Amino acid sequence: MDVKAAVAVEANQPLKLETVQLDPPQGREVLVEIKATGVCHTDAYTLSGKDPEGLFPSILGHEGAGVVVEVGKEVKTLKPGDHVIPLYTPECRECKFCLSQKTNLCQAIRSTQGKGVMPDGTSRFSLNGEKLHHFMGTSTFANYTVLPEIALAKIREDAPFDKVCYIGCGVTTGIGAVLFTAKVEAGANVVVFGLGGIGLNVIQGAKMVGADKIIGVDINPKKRPLAEKFGMTDFVNPNELDGDLVSYLVELTDGGADFSFECIGNVNIMRQALECCHKGWGVCTIIGVAGAGEEISTRPVQLVTGRVWKGSAFGGARGRTDVPKIVDWYMDGKINIDDLITHTLPIEQINEAFDLMHEGSSIRTVLTY
């Protein structure tokens, strides 16, 4: 079938709106009509050419919501008409990782996902006979896409697509990192580096669990009012600080943060995020994604003296299990998504969504089809 898609033709070039061809779903695959998709910094990162797994030409996008249109012959758990959120971290419930109950990093289809193809090693998308790569197994910058059954969370039908699509990445990543990865406790002091689409959800999660101080660090002062609305107690702009940022944060938290979160993707800040943690127990969770060849460093004594570096992908959430619950939290008014969606645009204006992100004017832009 013909579908409308924003094609990433090559690195660092604007996306090109095209009519591309989509093959039908195979055995365990599902055809989904994408109704809305958010634009996450990770889409911009891959488009920038810094992602070692970035492939071109491809269809990016991994923060969508939509409706099942057709299922492959071997699909058992979904049917046409079901409302779904695509999962770039699937949940097969059968692999060693899923069965371990120690991680959300299902590996059932990870290698083909990273190669931009479906689990059988082929792509469903093409443009004038030339194959296009899938992205993160989701490719939500198309109004129809094909995904494996294990990469879809079935959600309630009254949830608005143009809001809950954000649960497909940013909301779950931020809140989940607090709840599932770091397991922040009530009364804890928390430092959040980067107050964008992820960091504000970390703040929201920290507030939910009853953190004491929630300190936000960002070089963009425009992020302050919304962060305060979500529960930030103190704002630090490193550009307005005379002394050393780490020492300042250690003092502000009476010895160091109990929990810190890096939500930028900057390896220098990842070091500061660790080093502002409390001696003996402070836990730093890395969420930001850094480019090919970049590495983190610190003096080993930082770890020897009890600070811990952790990482979190998709907030440690098990998508098919946890995403429907997070949709319920939104529908029950327990979490705020609406205020974080600062812009809603038609897919035709997708490049504006990237501009808004780069200039720091948006938190999330949602694109509708």
321 is a catalytic site residue: no
CA distance 71 to 149: 9
| Cα–Cα distance, 263 to 286 (Å, whole number) | 7
SS3 32: strand
Question: Which residue(s) pair with 308 in the sheet?
Answer: 283
Closest CA to 175 of 144, 150, 145, 200: 200
Q: Which is nearer to ligand AHE, 188 or 200 (CB)?
A: 200
* Contacts of ligand AHE in 75-134 (CB under 6 A): 89, 105, 110
DSSP structure class, residue 13: S
**Least spacing, CB of residue 45 vs ligand NAD, in Å:** 5
- Residue 238 near ligand NAD by CB under 6 A: yes
- Least Å from the CB of residue 261 to ligand AHE: 14
Q: At what angle do helices 245-252 and 267-275 cross, to 10 degrees?
A: 40
Q: Are 173 and 312 in contact (CB under 8 A)?
A: yes
- Which residue of 11, 13, 24, 53 would you call a contact of ligand AHE, by CB under 6 A? 53
# chain residues binding Zn ion, by CB under 5 A: 3
Cβ neighbours of 245 (radius 10 Å): 17
Site string for Zn ion, 12-51 (x = CB under 5 A): ----------------------------x-x---------
Give the DSSP per-residue string, 7-22.
EB-STTS--EEEEEEE
259-298 footprint of ligand AHE as x/- string (CB under 6 A): ------------------------------x---------
Strands 152-155 and 83-86: antiparallel
List of E strands, 149-233: 152-155, 190-193, 214-217
**Per CB under 6 A, 275 contacts ligand NAD:** no
- Binding site residues, ligand AHE, CB under 6 A: 40, 42, 51-53, 89, 105, 110, 169, 289, 313-314
**Residue numbers of the site for ligand NAD (CB under 6 A)?**
40-42, 45, 169-170, 173, 193-199, 217-220, 223, 238, 263-266, 269, 287-289, 312-314, 357, 360
Binding region for Zn ion (CB under 5 A): 40, 42, 169
Catalytic residues: 40-42, 62-63, 92, 95, 98, 106, 110, 169, 364
